[in-house]
């Protein structure tokens, strides 16, 4: 099957039948081998039966949420390509032709763009049209280098195998952003085609919650971008704190009529510490995300990790600690010069604050080095130990049991079908060994004669009787291996 159209459904009785019939009509008119899959998320208004009557296949999805419903439908889809869209009749499923053409041309993901195709009056609230969607799409392009203009368009199509490889996890509305972000990070071939958005055909309010779902989209974009969440803010704080701290450590700084003194120095020190901590968080987050597969491998981060060993991190922290202790010793000497009496904060804090800052950063560096080393520990499962002698003995025992079973079967077949008139010599591979096991050493001559006298012309019945137990044993062996 070429195309599966998946529609999430939660109480869409007013529109689901229309959407299904339009899609099936598109299949027939275009000669496409396709299906409609309704991913039902617990409808209570009879949407399931309406969809079946219209020709769709209904897949129940227990876990609630837009993303959960879609993933349930995508996994159940039988087509090589999958298109997804809401079942509220806001998207025209008869316009899937350009999406399918791009997929046939090798695209992994084809996004619709409502801003290029057209948004009908009343189809999208003004807050979403002029603030929510443009801002979140801009953030997605800025954070991840994507070229998609409409991150949250509900009508899109993709190669099923490619999307399943992404391991999409989110269960809510942020599923739309996750698909684009992960596909961008994996360097997928992502294309965009114009599409239109019409007012939905429902009389009830939509499931989308403006502020809750908007925040979930923004939160996802931030959590998947340690660079913008930690690194860039951390570098800004560190730069401001370092520049201000160096300038104020020698004396007050006057800008126009405003004088910055030791109070500002304390704030600069705090900014430096916060920025340093944020940069470390960016590094730790990136290492963890790379190892767990949340984010793709970053060669620049890997170079930093390879260089920043535990020993080097502890050495760096030790140097900062020595500098901080030296500053504290200098502050004690300054106090001693003043006979351990009252000090002028404008002078003493210029020694104490940088020293305390160095000590704090030294501990941060050491702890971060330890944590990076912990993240580098690999979980390894060793193969179970086996005794070679026991394994060989087991193989020998199994072979012996097999030979003994075959011999007993042959003897029983010979006794059943053999007669004295057709007796003829038959070779016995190990007559002496078998006789020894049966305890017939006292009648060796008689038994030797008996062993050599067997039926010369074996009948068809004898052959079948001999082969049947062997076939059954072989069949039993195969069944045992499968179980």
pLDDT digit string (tens) for 298-308? 788 888 877 88
pLDDT, mean of residues 448-461: 35
pLDDT, mean of residues 271-300: 86
Task: Let me know whether 341 and 424 are in one domain.
Answer: no
Residue 289's pLDDT band (boundaries 50, 70, 90)?
Answer: confident
Residue 476's pLDDT band (boundaries 50, 70, 90)?
Answer: very low
User: What pLDDT does residue 423 have?
Assistant: 44
User: What pLDDT does residue 430 have?
Assistant: 42
Residue 390's pLDDT band (boundaries 50, 70, 90)?
Answer: low
| Selection from 130, 150, 131 nearest residue 140 by Cα | 150
Residue 375's pLDDT band (boundaries 50, 70, 90)?
Answer: confident
pLDDT, mean of residues 383-412: 72
Domain closes at, from 223, 254, 285: 223
pLDDT, mean of residues 213-242: 91
Residue 418's pLDDT band (boundaries 50, 70, 90)?
Answer: low
Task: Let me know whether 92 and 238 are in one domain.
Answer: no
Q: How many domains is the chain built from?
A: 3
User: What pLDDT does residue 396 have?
Assistant: 74
Task: Let me know whether 253 and 175 are in one domain.
Answer: no
Task: Let me know whether 30 and 55 are in one domain.
Answer: yes
Give the pLDDT confidence of 432-449 residue by residue, as tens digits: 333 333 343 334 333 333
Q: And the tokens for 441?
A: 């050493």
What whole-number distance in Å separates Cα of residue 24 and Cα of residue 77?
A: 15
Task: Let me know whether 87 and 131 are in one domain.
Answer: yes
pLDDT, mean of residues 39-64: 94
Beta bridge pairs of residue 191: 110
Task: Let me know whether 151 and 276 are in one domain.
Answer: no
What whole-number distance in Å separates Cα of residue 310 and Cα of residue 373?
A: 6
- Whether residue 108 lies inside any domain: the answer is yes
Domain closes at, from 223, 245, 274: 223
Domain closes at, from 199, 223, 247: 223
pLDDT, mean of residues 255-284: 91
Task: Let me know whether 175 and 248 are in one domain.
Answer: no
User: What pLDDT does residue 400 have?
Assistant: 78
- Whether residue 21 lies inside any domain: the answer is yes
Residue 68 has pLDDT above 90, yes or no: yes
- Whether residue 388 lies inside any domain: the answer is no
Task: Let me know whether 406 and 315 are in one domain.
Answer: no
Of the two residues 156 and 403, the one the predictor is more confident about is 156
Q: Which of 244-253, 357-366, 398-407, 411-420 has the lowest mean pLDDT?
A: 411-420
User: What pLDDT does residue 385 have?
Assistant: 53
Task: Let me know whether 17 and 144 are in one domain.
Answer: yes
- CATH code for the domain of 196: 3.90.550.10
What whole-number distance in Å separates Cα of residue 101 and Cα of residue 91?
A: 18
What whole-number distance in Å separates Cα of residue 17 and Cα of residue 11?
A: 12
Task: Let me know whether 171 and 33 are in one domain.
Answer: yes
pLDDT, mean of residues 401-417: 79
Give the pLDDT confidence of 173-204 residue by residue, as tens digits: 889 999 999 999 999 999 999 999 999 888 88
Give the pLDDT confidence of 294-338 residue by residue, as tens digits: 777 778 888 887 788 888 889 989 999 999 999 889 888 888 877
Task: Let me know whether 165 and 243 are in one domain.
Answer: no
User: What pLDDT does residue 70 have?
Assistant: 95
By CB atoms closer than 10 A (0-12, 13-18, 19+), residue 364 is middle
- Whether residue 417 lies inside any domain: the answer is yes
Residue 341's pLDDT band (boundaries 50, 70, 90)?
Answer: confident
- Whether residue 392 lies inside any domain: the answer is no
User: What pLDDT does residue 256 have?
Assistant: 83
Average pLDDT, the chain: 82
- Whether residue 22 lies inside any domain: the answer is yes
Name the residue with tokens 């942020």.
174
| Selection from 420, 275, 434 nearest residue 360 by Cα | 275
- Whether residue 437 lies inside any domain: the answer is yes
Residue 458 has pLDDT above 50, yes or no: no
Task: Let me know whether 92 and 193 are in one domain.
Answer: yes
Residue 25's pLDDT band (boundaries 50, 70, 90)?
Answer: very high
User: What pLDDT does residue 438 have?
Assistant: 38
Residue 367's pLDDT band (boundaries 50, 70, 90)?
Answer: very high
Residue 47 has pLDDT above 70, yes or no: yes
- Please report which helix (H) or strand (E) contains residue 269, including its range: helix 262-292
Tell me the percentage of the chain whose pLDDT exceeds 70: 83
User: What pLDDT does residue 399 have?
Assistant: 77
- Which range of residues forms the domain containing residue 177? 3-223
Look at residue 36 and give its three-state secondary structure. Answer: strand
pLDDT, mean of residues 454-461: 34
Residue 482 has pLDDT above 70, yes or no: no
Number of DSSP helices (H) and strands (E) in the chain, helices first: 20, 11
Q: Which of 28-42, 345-359, 366-380, 448-462 has the lowest mean pLDDT?
A: 448-462
Radius of gyration of the chain (CA): 39
- Whether residue 444 lies inside any domain: the answer is yes
């Amino acid at each position: 099957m070429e195309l599966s159209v998946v529609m999430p459904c939660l109480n869409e009785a007013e529109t689901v039948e229309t959407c299904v019939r339009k899609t099936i009509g598109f299949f027939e008119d275009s000669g496409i081998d396709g299906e409609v899959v309704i991913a039902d998320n617990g409808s209570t208004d009879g949407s399931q039966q309406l969809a079946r009557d219209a020709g769709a296949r209904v897949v129940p999805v227990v876990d609630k949420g837009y993303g959960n419903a879609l993933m349930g439908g995508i996994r159940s889809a039988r087509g090589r390509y999958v298109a997804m869209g809401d079942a509220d009749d806001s998207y025209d499923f008869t316009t899937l032709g350009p999406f399918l053409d791009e997929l046939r041309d090798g695209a992994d993901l084809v996004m619709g763009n409502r801003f290029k195709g057209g948004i009908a009056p009343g189809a999208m609230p003004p807050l979403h049209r002029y603030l929510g969607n443009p801002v979140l799409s801009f953030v997605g392009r800025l954070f991840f280098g994507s070229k998609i203009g409409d991150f949250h368009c509900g009508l899109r199509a993709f190669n099923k195998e490619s999307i399943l490889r992404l391991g999409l996890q989110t269960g809510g509305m942020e599923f739309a952003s996750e698909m684009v972000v992960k596909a961008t990070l994996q360097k997928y071939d992502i294309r965009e085609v114009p599409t239109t958005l019409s007012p939905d055909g429902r009389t009830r309010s939509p499931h989308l919650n403006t502020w809750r779902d908007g925040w979930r989209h923004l939160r996802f974009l931030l959590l998947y971008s340690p660079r913008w969440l930690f690194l860039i803010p951390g570098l800004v704080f560190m730069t401001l704190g370092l520049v201000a701290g160096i300038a104020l450590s020698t004396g007050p700084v006057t800008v126009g009529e405003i004088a910055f003194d030791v109070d500002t120095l304390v704030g600069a020190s705090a900014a430096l510490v916060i920025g340093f901590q944020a940069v470390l968080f960016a590094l730790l987050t990136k290492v963890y995300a790379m190892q767990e597969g949340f984010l793709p491998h970053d060669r620049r981060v890997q170079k930093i990790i390879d260089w920043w060993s535990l020993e080097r991190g502890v050495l760096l922290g030790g140097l900062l600690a020595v500098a901080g202790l030296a500053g504290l010793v200098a502050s004690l000497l300054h106090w001693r010069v003043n006979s351990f009496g009252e000090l002028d904060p404008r002078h003493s804090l210029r020694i104490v604050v940088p020293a305390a800052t160095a000590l704090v950063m030294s501990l941060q560096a050491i702890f971060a080095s330890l944590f990076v080393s912990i993240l580098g520990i690999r979980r390894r499962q060793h193969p179970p130990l086996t005794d070679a002698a026991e394994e060989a003995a087991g193989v020998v025992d199994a072979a012996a049991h097999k030979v003994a079973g075959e011999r007993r079967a042959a003897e029983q077949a010979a006794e059943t079908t053999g007669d004295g008139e057709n007796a003829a010599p038959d070779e016995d591979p190990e007559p002496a060994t078998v006789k020894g096991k049966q305890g017939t050493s006292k009648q060796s001559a008689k038994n030797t004669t008996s062993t050599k006298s067997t039926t010369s012309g074996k009948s068809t019945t004898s052959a079948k009787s001999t082969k049947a137990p062997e076939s059954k044993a072989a069949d039993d062996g195969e069944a045992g291996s499968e179980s």
